[in-house]
Amino acid sequence: MATLAADWLTARLLRRSTTDLGVFLPAGFPSAYADAEVLRTFASRGARLFEIGVPYSDPFLDGPVIAEAYKRALSRGTTMVDVLETVRQVATTTWAPVVVVSYWGPVLRYGGPERFAQDLATAGAAGAMIVDLPLEEAGPWLAASHQSGLTTPQLVSRRASDERLARVCSAASGWVYAPAAEAALTGYTGRLDVEALERFTQRLRAAGSVPVVTGIGVSSPGMARSLRDLVDGVVIGTPAIQPLLEMSPSDGLRAAADRVALFAAALQRPADPANLFRPDYIGMM
């Protein structure tokens, strides 16, 4: 199942005629039973891939909104077993590929890369991105993921040399993640240097053939629209999570789903009539 999900993820992102919207949500948030339902709702409003976060007590790469969502999930006792169950539910009830996002600590506490990769594959994940694992230390994880048929998206800095970009692209599968806001935490709402991101995506495409996905700082549909011709996917987290933190469950879900729909609409390019009856185009609707 993991290999099929991984192939579907890659096939989606390599269709350069579209830019897919991804949505990040921590497992166990807003509750252990509501997370999968939230993601299914997002799928119905235009999300085409999902990142499911493993709650972590020290998410040093994340801003206050995602950190608070992690905190609430942990306070409810969310474990890696719960993460895997959320993956299973979403993978079996939507067409959206699921990539798990984790810090390295929870992977080690769960039993290491082999067990983590095997159980993700069994749950139906397309892959996993370990956000704080340096490439130089990633050998066991990359080997375990490959053995289990998982993709291994890689987070990469635009300050990296061309040589390092080539190494990262060689190790990556699924996508390379190019932050829209360099050296910023998730939830950044400041100005984006679109020209700098464009130059970086050009370097990444020269370094390898892996799809390019961006996020971190894509705080409005207008920003998403300005990036849609540069990348193969845009992932949002904070804009969808914030209403779930601040409102009642029903109002929060409605507001979050409306935001997802606006981001998805912003990424749509004008329709080419020649595409209207292609199976992959119909699948986007």
Record the tokens describing residue 84, joined without a space.
């895997």
Name the active-site residue from 51, 82, 119, 232: 51
Cβ of 202: how many Cβ atoms within 10 Å? 12
Mean pLDDT of 130-146: 96
Q: Residues 6 or more apart from 151 whose CB is under 8 A from it?
A: 6, 9, 10, 99, 126, 127, 128, 145, 173, 174, 175
Name the active-site residue from 62, 82, 119, 232: 62
Q: Which of 212, 141, 145 is nearest to 3 (CA)?
A: 145
Mean pLDDT of 127-143: 97
Supply the Cα-derived Rg of the chain in whole angstroms: 17
Cβ of 109: how many Cβ atoms within 10 Å? 11
Which single residue is written with the structure tokens 């981001």?
263
SS3 of residue 49 by DSSP: strand
Q: Reply yes or no on whether the pLDDT at 9 is more than 90.
A: no
Top pLDDT among 133 and 280 is at 133
Mean pLDDT of 93-97: 94
Report the share of the chain in percent with pLDDT over 70.
93
Whether residue 132 lies in the annotated active site: no
Q: How confident is the model at residue 2 (pLDDT cuts 50, 70, 90)?
A: low
Q: How confident is the model at residue 16 (pLDDT cuts 50, 70, 90)?
A: low
pLDDT in tens, 194-243: 999 999 999 999 999 999 999 999 999 999 999 999 999 999 999 999 99
Give the whole-angstrom CA distance, residue 28 versus residue 87: 11
Give the whole-angstrom CA distance, residue 110 versus residue 209: 32
Do the Cβ atoms of 126 and 150 come closer than 8 Å?
yes
Q: Which of 205, 239, 284 is nearest to 25 (CA)?
A: 239
Q: Reply yes or no on whether the pLDDT at 90 is more than 70.
A: yes
Tell me the domains of the chain and their CATH numbers. 2-282 (3.20.20.70)
Whether residue 258 lies in the annotated active site: no
Give the whole-angstrom CA distance, residue 29 versus residue 73: 5
Give the C-alpha distances (Å, rounded to integers) separating 197 from 177, 179, 223, 271, 285.
12, 8, 12, 26, 29
Q: Residues 6 or more apart from 143 whose CB is under 8 A from it?
A: 113
